[in-house]
Amino acid sequence: MENKYVINWEKYASLARQAAAEGAVLLKNDDQALPLKKETISVFGRIQFHYYKSGTGSGGLVNAKYVVGITDALLEEENLSVNEELAEVYRSWIAEHPFDQGSGWAQEPWCQEEMPLEEKLVEEAAAKSDAAVIVIGRTAGEDRDASAEKGSYLLTDLEEDMLSKVCRAFERVIVVLNVGNIIDMKWVDKYRPSAVLYTWQGGQEGGHSVADVLTGRVNPCGKLADTIAHDISDYPSTENFGGDTFDLYTEDIYVGYRYFETFARDKVLYPFGFGLSYTGFGITCSPAEHRDGETIVRVKVTNTGALPGKEVVQVYVNPPQGKLGKPLRNLAAFAKTKCLVPGEEQELTLKFSDYDIASYDDSGVTGHKSCYVLEKGSYEVYAGTDVRSAEAAGSFEIPETEVISVCTEAAGPVRKFERMRVGKGGVLAWEEVPVRTHKMQERVQTETLPDITYTGDKGYTLGEVFDGELSLDEFLAQLSEEDLCCIVRGEGMCSPKVTPGTAAAFGGVTESLQRYGIPCGCCADGPSGIRMDCGTPAFSMPNGTCLACTFDTELSEALYEMEGAELRKNRIDTLLGPGINIHRNPLNGRNFEYFSEDPYLTGMMASAQLKGMARYGVTGTVKHFAANNQEYHRRLLDSVMSERALREIYLRGFEIAVKEGKAYSIMTTYGAINGLWTASNYDLLTTILRKEWNFDGMVMTDWWADLNDEGGPASTDNLAAMVRSQNDVYMVTQDSLTNKDNLMKSLKEGTLKRGALLRSAGNICRMLMKSPVMERSLGRMSEEEKNAGEVMAGEDKVDFDITYHKVDGKLVLDSTEIDTSKGKSVVYGILLDTFGSYTVRLKVKADGSELAQIPVSVFANGHLEGTITINGTNGEWIEIEKTIGPLFGPHNYIRLYFAQGGMKIQTVTVELQEEMSRGF
């Protein structure tokens, strides 16, 4: 019988490769410059050898076994001849100009130094080649935004010089963009390359996917998930992006194409949904049918070209302006065909509900305040292959304004400002934003909480609730105030209570809680693969933007089913992803993790990933709830927006993930929305998420998040505000029992009720009972899962029991027995009382001569601290060292990786170098 926990890595790689290829967007292809045929090509740009598999930070630190570069993949192509003389020039130059890793957390430069090109070198390459491929790369990153400067959003002088010289010398030039986010594209008209292909960051199989598209093995079928405008200043959010303490969302609901198609069509270089193919397609629509709250559009797609390929159909709605004012285009549905051979047809049926196209009235101008409405008038439907080319596909009338959903005013602004709207004649106009008319604190104080009388220990376990022998309330009644305070504190990072190297443990984090049968759930960073800081390898996925550009939910679901199997194998209950914040502005450093400027596309792609992981009983923690649209000062930033923009744009993707994707784990953000930090925002977490959307899962904070009461300052200690608002778990603490916060004090003073803690404890327990850890804790896992960590079918063993060694100023480890042969590594668990920088000192020898070069790479918590290379020592012991850190948590991992054999190690010493302090 096949063991489902033995992952089919070939299938995994194939799906990832396909997804990355289908996410590639062809923006230009003059005179059929692509696909490449049997010919010789010259490849320019250093990133051909330094492929960006993902961005930096927690969303990119996946310890992949391999990463396929672009030139690596092109050299594998039998029908292509790569100019090796040029490639060797680059290799030699790169040896003298190594990749700049930066220093510290997420500090890798956004671009790397480019090799200067001499005219003669380019002309010689042109003389012996049929075409040129230029690779331009950009990373992206957590905790740091892009800038509208050279080397970030703009090209560098050397990149422009490369484009200029290569485009002059070659008749055919193909530009490949290995980037996390969209970049400035004015250079296309300036240098006029023959073809331009966005390939994003495609994970460890990214190089193969680029080769697949360039050679035509995969016909490009990706569509832009964002609008590309002429200039960064053309995006209406740019004016209010990058604030120190707050950003005004004056563009309101007019984000991305909703703005450009309504007010600034002439500012668009490439419209939302755009993407070329190597073949042609014909599209015919039957008139849209609207009845019983649903609209159906039937579209016939025919491959009219000479090559097989896929096409994406997008349906947009232009609603009547009414009293609210609305964008002229709103994505309502999309679908992708199968691969159609020339002449083949496929009929697609696309549907959307009245709720999908309803508008939220936050002012009462329609007579229905705090409601989603369809205003009376004609609703025009458009279908096509992008927002700009979509053609009329019928319309329907709403004779009188209809209330589609009655809501409660929630999370609106207190700061007065003006927002965009459509004025008379369709021109851009402005109006005052409605401000909040209620006190959120009053809602908190009048909230009905669980009324469960404390019984003390009755001997009940959570397993009895899981088996249906006991109610959850009966079980929770046993928990003391100390137990309830502990259960809402997660522990990590790298907690030894769960899979080594992962982000946190939650639930049964104390001995007392474990006696009640509450297991420790495990979460690991994502979303583009599993981050395990102890060095355990994991599969690196294409980034979120790339996957969104596939417009293929079935493919994403299949890919994340494999991710679910990998999570299950590593005993991880939830991946910290998908990330589904809106691409409000191209400069947001974390856009690479997120999907799109459109909330519907975002929600549907997130739902697909959740459904895929659910097939293995695990889930994703959807993040960051909500409006994490800027990395600069993200802990301090207040996103000031109307309730309408919040609901229609920034919450809609999360709503779809909850209702369609059945999400049951959500992470809040670092910053605030309208004055309240999201991790303690009652309206966001209870009024909307729980009461309106009927979410019954668990909510966690981001790591070391701030919290506040309405009108009060933010701090990491105010866990009482968190619990009152129904954010269930604080991530993370060093030790749940001893964490310094205001929970017990608030209980004693009566400002926090036991019922609020019971409510969060219930949410946490329900999460755990939906997770694989519950059955494992009861000893009910199958034999195949018991053996998941063993070596099976060539898979790596997963060591769930790494030993921690306490460093009391200095630690010396006997390392004479470790395997230092080529490709091997060793991991040491390190337990610290003192945070700061540490010296790792190795006593080593090598029998080789002084000409031998033997490297050892030193990693701390998954981050490469540096590589030390020794020569042969003729058998003499020597000492080498590397400074690592600073290290801020108690549980850490040091990994030594041996790229070459021949080194022997006697001892490894870890010694405090410089003490630092950090509050948690």
Residue 454 backbone dihedrals phi, psi, to 5 degrees = -65, 130
On whether the CB atoms of residues 708 and 715 are closer than 8 A, the answer is yes
On whether the CB atoms of residues 892 and 492 are closer than 8 A, the answer is no
CA distance 686 to 279: 50
**DSSP state letters, 399-446:** SS-EEEEE----S--SS--EEEEE-GGG-EEEEEPPPP-S-HHHHHHT
State the distance between the two ends of the chain, measured CA to CA, in whole angstroms.
48
On whether the CB atoms of residues 832 and 892 are closer than 8 A, the answer is yes
Q: Which residue has the tokens 């060292």?
A: 881
Per the residue annotation, which of 212, 702, 728, 741 is the catalytic one?
Answer: 702
CA distance 878 to 895: 20
Q: Which residues pair with 640 in a beta bridge?
A: 248
**Residue 52 is which amino acid?**
Y
On whether the CB atoms of residues 194 and 175 are closer than 8 A, the answer is no
Alpha helices in 529-620 (DSSP H): 544-548, 553-569, 599-614
Q: Which residue has the tokens 């019922």?
A: 755
Fill in the DSSP letter of residue 148.
S
Tokens of 640: 């000031």
Active site residue 31: no
On whether the CB atoms of residues 520 and 510 are closer than 8 A, the answer is no
Show Cβ contacts of residue 23 under 8 Å, excluding neighbours closer than 6 positions. Answer: 199, 200, 202, 222, 542, 545, 546, 547, 548, 549, 550
Closest residue by Cα to residue 522 from 748, 873, 798: 798
Q: Assign residue 456 a region: left if phi > 0, alpha if psi is -120 to 50, beta otherwise?
A: left
Q: Are strands 131-137 and 39-44 parallel, antiparallel or unpaired?
A: parallel
Catalytic residues: 702
